[in-house]
Amino acid sequence: MNQEFRKKLGVDENKPNDWFENLYAVSNDSGDGVPWANMDAHPLFKNWIRDKPNVSREQTALVVGCGLGDDAIALENKGYKVTAFDVSESAIELCKERFPASKVNFIKADLLAGVPKWKEKFDFVLEIFTIQALPPKYEDTLIKNVANFVKPNGQLLIITEVQTPKRIYENGPPWLLNHNYKDSFEKLGLQLISNSISRETHIGEELHLSVFEKKS
């Protein structure tokens, strides 16, 4: 993304959350103007969860950066008691408009600030493209806060784009992660149990679906 486009969206390294509200505030329940809005669960996640058995309502799930809410609904349909959050109030309102009959707890919250009351609360945590949507200097904090949501013996599923070059602010958003993101999660007590990789069209870029389990 060039400097002109960053300016148009109001992307500011020192106010990293503001541009999400700018984007969703002028969107609608069709996702107009939101580049990552599939209006369905992410294809990789949809394929992954399709063959998984249903769970009991006692199993809790959290969707990080839920956007327009489709991934949260996929988890609800599998039987999870789902909480889904986004930093954009407009995104949360659109989720509630789109899914008025859902029991998902759609709520405004800030991943960068963290949510202490959710520490080790969830059996399953889903993060898709949220870490890479925030400037590189916040990476360690974001990864730590995501890891903190997972219960002992719980699982974390990450879908992210990965590149070899160093992450720098001038090249985003998005700021694609480097391969060492897996090591960062493992240092926080999560063990990588599966990692599938899809080749992207750009040379050297990959799309990863990684599943971690938190040690008890």
Percentage of the chain exceeding pLDDT 70: 95
Q: Is domain 3-27+39-214 given the CATH code 3.60.15.10 in the classification?
A: no
* Per-domain boundaries in the chain: 3-27+39-214
CA dihedral 185, 107, 82, 120 (to 10 degrees): 40
What mean pLDDT value characterizes the chain?
Answer: 93
Question: Residue 63 is encoded by which pair of tokens?
Answer: 């969707």
Q: Is the pLDDT of residue 88 over 80?
A: yes
Q: What DSSP line would sit under 113-149, residue for residue?
A: T--GGGTT-EEEEEEESSGGGS-GGGHHHHHHHHHHT
Q: What is the pLDDT of residue 5?
A: 67
Q: How many CA atoms lie within 13 A of 180 on its CB side?
A: 8
Residue 184, helix vs strand vs coil: helix
Average pLDDT over residues 4-31: 85
Q: What is the pLDDT of residue 42?
A: 95
How far apart CA 10 and CA 136 sit, in angstroms, is: 17
Q: What DSSP line would sit under 55-90, residue for residue?
A: --TT-EEEEES-TTSHHHHHHHHTT-EEEEEES-HH
pTM: 0.94
